[in-house]
Amino acid sequence: MAAAPTSAQSPARSPARSTGALQIKQLIRRRYARLAGADAFQPDPRATALAAGCPTAWYDALPARAAQAFSGCGWPAGDLDPTGIETIIDLGCGGGLDSRFLAERLNKNALVLALDLTPEVLDRARETLTGVAGATVRLLAADLEQLPLADACADAVIANAALNLATEAQAAFAEIARVLRPGGRLVAADLVRVGALPAEILADPMAMATSLGGVMEEADLLAVIEDAGLNNVAITGHRPFGPVIAVNISATR
């Protein structure tokens, strides 16, 4: 595995960032750094991972530290047909389980780019991904709303419980549309809400850092994805996830 981040291939777009958005990102980074340090991504990561669709035998064969690091709300790695993929980006890769699953299924000429905002989380991904057979894996510390990557550089993008943490969902999906090549695929697990969030969540200043504050209604999410220029958008597989609903998103460029 290449330990160093990839260098930028072209300048990232630089949308204006409000002070509020930057503060929220700092809260997100601190929260995930703390969770990574305390090995506390989930109270019961095995139960959460298996409920999310992670194959039992594969999960149970993981090194213990990797198995602890699941923090997703679905299993996009399993939903994606790896045929024809040479470059895939895992946005908000966390502890790197989706990246590992895909790397094992791709050949050595393929590249899995595991990207996260939080350096301490990327350290966990490095542990999960070191020595994995199959594709080349690179780690990249970056913001999924401002990707330091060239246009049309990826055949596929996955994201597991990460897009809902974007402070500007429009920027996140515009970046996905930009880095996917024509015909490239997005496969993600994410969250939607029905109606307003519960009052205690709305009143919680940490809500934006805990995946919930930015959760959109499904129709709004669909509109944002389509406005970004993605096609064949499908939001499926609705399942309860705490006070919100986990869904699978697929789309093509």
Ligand X SMILES: C[S@@+](CC[C@H](N)C(=O)[O-])C[C@H]1O[C@@H](n2cnc3c(N)ncnc32)[C@H](O)[C@@H]1O
E-strand ranges in 82-198 read: 87-91, 111-116, 136-141, 154-160, 180-193
Closest Cα partner for 228 from 161, 155, 172, 146?
Answer: 172
Q: Angle at the Cα of 68 (from 244 to 239), degrees rounded to 5?
A: 20
Cβ proximity to ligand X: between 119 and 182 the closer is 119
Q: Out of 66, 88, 93, 156, which residue is the one contacting ligand X (CB under 6 A)?
A: 93
In the complex, minimum distance from the CB of residue 81 to ligand X, in angstroms, rounded to a whole number: 19
Q: Does 190 bind ligand X (CB under 6 A)?
A: no
Task: Please give the single-letter amino acid code of residue 139.
Answer: L
Cβ neighbour number for residue 2 with a 10 Å cutoff: 11
Q: Which of 85, 121, 180, 216 binds ligand X (CB under 6 A)?
A: 121
How far is the C-alpha of 67 from the C-alpha of 97, rounded, in Å? 8
CB of 55 to ligand X, least distance (A): 15
* Count of Cβ atoms closer than 10 Å to residue 27 Cβ: 17
The smaller minimum CB distance to ligand X, of residues 160 and 248, is found at: 160
| Nearest residue (beta carbon) to ligand X | 94
DSSP letter at 8 equals P
CB of 242 to ligand X, least distance (A): 12
Give the closest residue to 36 by CA, choosing from 76, 73, 69: 69
Confirm or reject binding of residue 92 to ligand X (CB under 6 A): yes
Residue 163, interface with ligand X (CB under 6 A)?
A: no
Q: Fill in the per-residue mask, 143 to 162: x = in contact with ligand X (CB under 6 A), - = not in contact.
A: xxx--------------xxx
Give the whole-angstrom CA distance, residue 218 versus residue 134. Answer: 36
Identify whether the C-beta of residue 172 lies closer than 8 Å to the C-beta of residue 144: yes
Among 67, 111, 165, 208, binds ligand X (CB under 6 A): 165
Q: Quick one: which of 68, 87, 128, 211 contacts ligand X (CB under 6 A)?
A: 211
Residue type at position 241: F
Cβ-based nearer residue to ligand X, 141 or 219: 141
Rounded least distance, CB 109 to ligand X, Å = 25
User: Which CB, 106 or 139, lies closer to ligand X?
Assistant: 139
Please report how close the Cβ of residue 52 comes to ligand X at its closest, in angstroms.
8
| Terminal C-alpha separation, the chain | 29
Residues that bind ligand X (CB under 6 A): 28, 32, 70-72, 92-95, 97-98, 116-118, 121, 143-145, 160-162, 165-166, 211
